[in-house]
Amino acid sequence: MNKIIDLTHPISEGMPVYPGTEPPVLKKECTIEDIGFLEKKIILFSHTGTHMDAPAHLIINAKTLDKLPINQFYGNAMLLDFTNIDGSIIEPDNLEPHKEAIEKAEFLIIYTGWSKYWGSDKYFINYPVLSFEAAQLLGEFPLKGIGFDTISADKIDTVEYQVHKSFLGNNTVIIENLTNLNLLPSNQFTFSCFPMSFEDADGSPVRAVGIVN
């Protein structure tokens, strides 16, 4: 029997957002008491919470999420545990021992343990990231997507977004702000991260889950 693990932070007012982004608004517009049914008005940026970056997020004339095939958002995955890494940069040498396993995966999930700081200022500071060279190494594999339990695939003070562009330039989507990665096995599992379906989507919140046999 399959076990489904929720890897998604719920969207709520006051939740952590990328610096400069406005937090979401969830406004109760209709109530059962007033008109017979409950309905909310939701206002949020496309990169809120656990979300996906499309190639068009940072690359002019690249594909938006609605232009990618639906099977881009589902497939077999593996997790790499870097919770005990020395320093905050994941280098090619950290990836080399896992190359054979990565070849068999469609999604690679980078587990840093940083989601434990969700809701605190520390979540935005000195979180582990891939070096540009490590991202280039991973670009040798035909990955559908790569996921992180951090606010961004690049350092918070980046102005070049080299790691983002390395993946997005290969049409490898990026999933950020994952959680509960400690509940996943390190060997292969199924990963699902379907975005909302809307036109010209530069990004979208996703309901990311891991499915373990």
Q: What residue spans define the domains of the chain? A: 3-8+46-212
Residue 110 identity (one-letter amino acid): I
Average pLDDT estimate for 157-175: 97
Select from 19, 171, 160, 146 the least CA-distant residue to 82.
146
Q: What is the pLDDT of residues 187-210, one digit of tens each?
A: 889 999 999 999 999 999 999 999
Whether 164 contacts 154, CB under 8 Å: yes
**Percent of the chain scored above 70 by pLDDT?**
100
Average pLDDT estimate for 49-66: 98
Average pLDDT, the chain: 97
Which two three-digit tokens encode residue 150? 């951090």
DSSP 190: E
Average pLDDT estimate for 18-39: 97
The pLDDT of residue 87 is: 85
Architecture of the 3-8+46-212 domain: 3-Layer(bba) Sandwich (3.50)
84: CB partners within 8 A, 6+ apart: none
Instruction: Give strand ranges (E) for 33-137.
Output: 39-43, 51-53, 74-81, 89-90, 107-111, 129-130
Does 1 score more than 90 pLDDT?
Answer: no
Query: What is the CB-side half-sphere exposure of residue 89 using CA atoms within 13 A?
Result: 9
162: helix, strand or coil:
helix
State the Rg of the chain over Cα: 17
Average pLDDT estimate for 178-186: 95
Average pLDDT estimate for 34-38: 98
CA dihedral defined by 3, 206, 150, 60, rounded to 10 degrees?
Answer: 140
Phi then psi dihedrals of residue 81, to 5 deg = -95, 110
Phi then psi dihedrals of residue 212, to 5 deg = -115, 130
Select from 10, 47, 16 the least CA-distant residue to 120.
16
The pLDDT of residue 188 is: 87
Query: Distance of CA 115 to CAs 58, 67, 151, Å?
Result: 24, 30, 9
Average pLDDT estimate for 107-133: 97
The pLDDT of residue 186 is: 82
Average pLDDT estimate for 53-82: 98
Which two three-digit tokens encode residue 192? 């699902």
Rounded to an integer, what distance in angstroms lies between the CA atom of residue 206 and that of residue 54?
Answer: 12
